């Protein structure tokens, strides 16, 4: 009797009056969840009542439902939940914005500290993000997709400043360091935004466009937020213009190479230079490679430009040697598309031959992205270059895969520590830790390590303390035209010992 529901007699009376035959519902008794099913018996004016304990079954169902829509690591709602909510918002013809938030340079944390620590960091980050919505979960709800990718749906993002203020609230939550294993780490987000209905008709289009915006933030070095239309309109326009003009740049002699010194810290001597291409655009003036190399990559124009760059850099280096300057290594950047070009070895040999430069004075800078695309093919090509005697370095190291096993298999000579780590190494202990790890790692694999983007004495002394032996950066000189570089080398030659 104790298990029967309080309102049983009332319900039975109603059933009798309505001439109904069956009734079924669930109710709680203490910790139990009871399922009751009632059948009215025509002939005896009585009822059969069946009670069953469905507590465990319902809990299991709730658990499954929770798992289906939540991320197991952070307990935040997951991608499925997000897609469902966005689809609902679209159906109800509401307006709003889909945000994708990605933790900047998180792969470096995984690589240096391992997955277990990285997972803990992600949970801490998730907790901070959740604080953003603690006041009012209806205005915005944080979800986790996978890896370091989070998302948010913000229903009433109409004014552009509202969106900026969200981005700065995210930055605000991330301002304090995370303490992991007693060490302080800082994180920032790249945020891509797609508004609906303007930026997409369905969930997948909105997510794709938010991701396009996100990637454009990442390309600019992270830490910031961009709306899809802004990312698209500037990019599409620029692309079109650049694509047309680039085709003629080589013919019209609008490209030039600048050279940036690389120093050996122990001797204070310039041991190499990096060739960096510039485009003297007839209307826009000097265009930075960051603005046209990616487009030249996409359109394939980089192949022709690359041939010119290699020939010019080798010829210049040979001229310096002929002028009696001490021989230097000339580092030339090879972008992924060039690296994948089967003609590349031929192009390189041709540049060496026609300039008369000995192969040991040429170094090719490749990125991990270029090499990891097809690892086995990359290893073959790299060995071919090694066999000729050309130097090889891994550019922007630390931003890509940074995989140790591949590093061992690639026959490279040195690592270039990416400048994004060097830039923040003084104020961000995580970055300092990464720089230090890369230096130790490189040396333990018998590779040279050069830090790029070194701008200040403070960075220089910390790098020295970490055992770094070579540097490149504004602190020793910006990239400069060939004539100025030659003058610098002459002056340098005259100097007996340490350079400034």
Given a contact cutoff of 8 angstroms between Cβ atoms, the answer to whether 132 and 140 are in contact is yes
Looking at beta carbons only, is 199 or 368 nearer to ligand C2E?
Answer: 368
- Total H helices, total E strands in the chain: 19, 20
Stretch near ligand C2E under the rule CB under 6 A, chosen from 34-42, 341-349, 376-384, 448-456: 448-456
Does 113 engage in binding with ligand C2E (CB under 6 A)? no
> Structure tokens of 434?
């990464």
What part of residues 302-341 is at the interface with Mg ion (CB under 5 A)? 333
Given CA atoms 294, 253, 288, 374 in this order, what sign does their dihedral have? positive
Does 260 engage in binding with ligand C2E (CB under 6 A)? yes
What part of residues 369-428 is at the interface with ligand C2E (CB under 6 A)? 395-396, 419
CB 71, min distance to Mg ion, A: 35
Other Cβ atoms closer than 10 A to 380: 10
Q: Which of 454, 460, 462, 485 binds ligand C2E (CB under 6 A)?
A: 454
Helix (H, G, I), strand (E, B) or coil at 174: helix
> Structure tokens of 348?
């390189």
- Provide the mask over 457-476, with x wherever binding to ligand C2E is found by CB under 6 A and - wherever it is not: ----------------xx--
Q: Which residues contact 490 (CB under 8 A, 6 or more apart)?
A: 325
Distance CA 437, CA 197 (A): 46
CA-based radius of gyration for the chain: 31
Binding partner of 454, given Mg ion, ligand C2E, none, CB within 5-8 angstroms per partner class: ligand C2E
Distance CA 303, CA 348 (A): 12
Stretch near ligand C2E under the rule CB under 6 A, chosen from 29-37, 84-92, 220-228, 333-341: 333-341
Does 365 engage in binding with Mg ion (CB under 5 A)? yes
CB 421, min distance to Mg ion, A: 11
Does 490 engage in binding with ligand C2E (CB under 6 A)? no
Looking at beta carbons only, is 151 or 335 nearer to ligand C2E?
Answer: 335
Q: Which of 38, 100, 214, 309 binds ligand C2E (CB under 6 A)?
A: 309
Element (H, E) at 164: helix 160-174
CB 148, min distance to ligand C2E, A: 23
Given a contact cutoff of 8 angstroms between Cβ atoms, the answer to whether 143 and 152 are in contact is yes
> Structure tokens of 11?
């319900």
Does 363 engage in binding with ligand C2E (CB under 6 A)? no
Backbone dihedral angles phi then psi of residue 452, each to the nearest 5 degrees: -110, 160
Binding partner of 474, given Mg ion, ligand C2E, none, CB within 5-8 angstroms per partner class: ligand C2E
Looking at beta carbons only, is 13 or 238 nearer to ligand C2E?
Answer: 238
Binding partner of 262, given ligand C2E, Mg ion, none, CB within 5-8 angstroms per partner class: none
Does 327 engage in binding with ligand C2E (CB under 6 A)? no
Helix (H, G, I), strand (E, B) or coil at 47: strand
Identify the burial level of 290 via C-beta atoms within 10 angstroms of its C-beta, where 0-12 means exposed, 13-18 middle and 19 or more buried.
exposed
Distance CA 68, CA 88 (A): 18
CA 24 to chain centre: 54
Looking at beta carbons only, is 209 or 419 nearer to ligand C2E?
Answer: 419
Q: Which of 22, 267, 288, 360 binds ligand C2E (CB under 6 A)?
A: 288
Given a contact cutoff of 8 angstroms between Cβ atoms, the answer to whether 142 and 129 are in contact is yes
- Contacts to Mg ion by CB under 5 A: 333, 365, 395-396
- Contacts to ligand C2E by CB under 6 A: 260, 275-277, 288-290, 293, 309, 333-335, 365, 395-396, 419, 452-455, 473-474, 479
């Amino acid at each position: 009797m104790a298990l029967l529901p309080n309102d049983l007699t009332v319900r039975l009376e109603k059933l009798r009056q309505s001439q109904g035959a069956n009734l079924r519902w669930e109710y709680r008794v203490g910790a139990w969840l009871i399922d009751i099913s009632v059948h009215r018996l025509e002939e005896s004016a009585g009822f059969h009542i069946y009670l069953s304990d469905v507590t465990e079954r319902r809990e299991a169902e709730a658990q499954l439902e929770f798992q289906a829509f939540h991320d197991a690591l952070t307990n935040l709602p997951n991608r499925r939940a997000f897609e469902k909510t966005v689809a609902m918002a679209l159906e109800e013809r509401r307006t709003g914005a889909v945000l994708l938030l990605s933790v900047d340079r998180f792969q470096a944390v995984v690589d240096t500290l391992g997955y277990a620590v990285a997972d803990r960091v992600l949970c801490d980050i998730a907790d901070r993000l959740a604080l953003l919505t603690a006041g009012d979960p209806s205005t915005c709800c944080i979800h986790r997709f996978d890896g370091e990718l989070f998302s948010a749906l913000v229903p009433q993002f109409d004014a552009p400043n509202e969106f900026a203020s969200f981005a700065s609230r995210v930055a605000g939550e991330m301002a304090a360091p995370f303490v992991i294993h007693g060490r302080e780490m800082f994180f920032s987000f790249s945020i891509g935004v797609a508004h609906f209905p303007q930026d997409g008709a369905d969930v997948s289009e909105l997510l794709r466009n938010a991701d396009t915006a996100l990637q454009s933030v990442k390309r600019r070095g992270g830490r910031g937020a961009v709306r899809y239309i802004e990312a698209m309109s500037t990019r599409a326009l620029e692309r079109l213009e650049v694509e047309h003009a680039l085709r003629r740049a080589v013919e019209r002699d609008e490209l030039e190479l600048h050279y940036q010194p690389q120093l050996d810290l122990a001797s204070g001597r310039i041991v190499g230079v990096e060739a960096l291409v510039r485009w003297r655009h007839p209307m826009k003036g000097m265009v930075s490679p960051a603005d046209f190399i990616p487009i030249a990559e996409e359109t394939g124009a980089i192949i022709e430009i690359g041939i010119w760059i290699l020939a010019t850099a080798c010829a210049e280096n040979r001229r310096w040697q002929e002028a009696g300057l001490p021989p230097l290594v000339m580092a030339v950047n090879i972008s992924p598309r060039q690296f994948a070009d089967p003609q590349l070895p031929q192009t390189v040999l041709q540049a060496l031959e026609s300039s008369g430069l000995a192969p040991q004075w040429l170094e090719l800078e490749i990125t991990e992205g270029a090499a990891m695309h097809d690892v086995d093919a990359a290893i073959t090509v790299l060995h071919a270059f090694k066999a000729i005697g050309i130097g090889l370095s891994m550019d922007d190291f630390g931003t890509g895969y940074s995989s140790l096993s591949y590093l061992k298999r690639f026959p490279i000579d040195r690592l270039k520590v990416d400048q994004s780590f060097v830039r923040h190494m003084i104020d961000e202990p995580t970055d300092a830790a990464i720089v230090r790890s890369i230096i130790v790692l490189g040396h333990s694999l018998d590779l040279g390590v050069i830090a790029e983007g070194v701008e200040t004495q403070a960075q220089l002394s910390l790098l020295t303390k970490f055992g770094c032996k070579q540097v490149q950066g504004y602190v020793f000189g910006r990239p400069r035209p060939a004539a100025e570089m030659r003058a610098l080398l002459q002056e340098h030659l005259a100097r007996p010992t340490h350079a400034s």
